[in-house]
Amino acid sequence: MRRAYVAVTAGLLAVAAAGLSAHRTGQAYSVPPAAQLQASGGIPPWPWLPAGVTWNHGHFSAVPYAVKTVQDSSLPQGQHLVVTPGTEGAVLKVGSTQATISSPTPATIANGTAVVHTLVVNGATYHYDRVLSMMTTAYNGSFAMNGPSGAVAAWNGKPLKPGDVAVDPSVIPLGTYLYIDGYGPARAVDTGSAIWGDHVDLFFQESALQIALYGVQFHKVYVLTQPPAGFHG
């Protein structure tokens, strides 16, 4: 009876495979390849044979991943960054047989080693790890300076307010807290087609005349390691 069941099952699988092949020819479908198992103690037998994976219940278990740490001189001391997330592996156990389904991938964590400096302005202390010399310009909430999208931040879609600045995200990532000489504490939340490289556009709630009078200025931009106290950016 068991042998007949295996034969019938094998026949059904052959018919199904033939149908799937014909269907796949007409449609651009493909069947993903089966997992290549690396087993200790031998590969589990064909499922319907004695000691097969349906004869003895199979159990999956996770394999933990290792964590590798590296030192990063561009990251402030005390900060950590996940460079590469780890993934668990998986094994299949059937009786005394164990097969590897997937191997774990180690995680890489960067530990910051950069020295953090302090800047004190009017009694307020700002912590930073680098200073940039950048060209600054000004803009307001007018249609002419924002277009149909309106005076909203590109980063989070919230209305622009004093302290919001537009940057080139490849130079200063969006969300970064800053202190800008002549402007004060700020946060990079916006972008612009004319804002690229070492250029920061400062938002003011001022008239077009005042914006024009600002012109082009060059200032130091301090890249902060934490949000400024009392700044709601």
| Distance in angstroms (rounded) separating the CA atoms of residues 85 and 37 | 24
Max CA separation in the chain (angstroms):
94
CATH of domain 117-224: 2.40.40.10
Give the DSSP per-residue string, 72-84: EEEEETT-EEEEE
- The CA R_g of the chain, rounded to the nearest whole Å, is 30
Q: Given a cut of 70, is residue 218 above it in pLDDT?
A: yes
| Distance in angstroms (rounded) separating the CA atoms of residues 116 and 123 | 18
| Domain ranges (residues) in the chain | 34-113, 117-224
Mean per-residue pLDDT over the chain, rounded: 80
Average pLDDT over residues 100-114: 91
CATH 2.20.230.10 fits 34-113, yes or no: yes
Q: Given a cut of 70, is residue 118 above it in pLDDT?
A: yes
CB 166 within 8 A of CB 139: yes
What is the reported pLDDT for 30? 65
What is the reported pLDDT for 77? 80
